[in-house]
Amino acid sequence: MEHVNSYLGKHLWLQYLLSVLVASAVVWLLFPGRSLVSVVPRMAVASLGSAVVLLVVRRKEKRAAGGSADDLVSLDGMLRRGEAPSDPQTRQAMRDLVDQRLHRTRHRIAAQIVLAVMWSTLVILMALTAGLRQTLGMAVVAGAFLTWLVLYGNLQHRRLHTMREILQTHN
């Protein structure tokens, strides 16, 4: 799994492609009357905004990590494993990366609540305007997404705080 994470971390285009394909599959399963050929381009266009945001965030993180995608992927792997770098320059890069991510996630609880309200509203609107299949499918997607978002977000936040403590106590 570490190899997959590293590869995806170095190749953002592949993350974009996979997310478009997964989103297309979900939409196609919820609305089987649409052709897959029409769904994929629509999902690609709809995902462009998130790709731009990801590129901007990625550029800032690469700068904090030392300037290259390899440096960022290396630091991200160390962060996932809970390993503090021993080299002073790498420790400073890790410190900068952790501080940047903690700053970016300072409103995560409010964001999670807003997303839960938005997804709930979407499911309710789907129930009012679509069939049972689409409503149940959207409810499952919303529940799975929100569960993953909260659990993985909390895990990442704990990792960031743990790494910040490690870096502060072992100067």
Tokens describing residue 46:
């709809």
Q: How high is the pLDDT of residue 152?
A: 93
Tell me, what's the pLDDT at 63? 84
Res 150: pLDDT: 94
Task: Please name the residues in contact with 32: beta carbons below 8 A apart, sequence gap of 6 or more.
Answer: none
- For residue 26, what are the contacts with CB-CB under 8 A and spacing of at least 6? 137, 141
- Residue-level pLDDT at 10: 76
For the chain, give the mean pLDDT. 89
What is the Cα–Cα distance from 21 to 18, expressed in whole angstroms?
A: 5
- Predicted local distance difference test score (pLDDT) of residue 15: 87
Low pLDDT (below 70) residues in the chain: 170-171
pLDDT at 171: 59
Give the predicted TM-score (pTM) of the model.
0.77
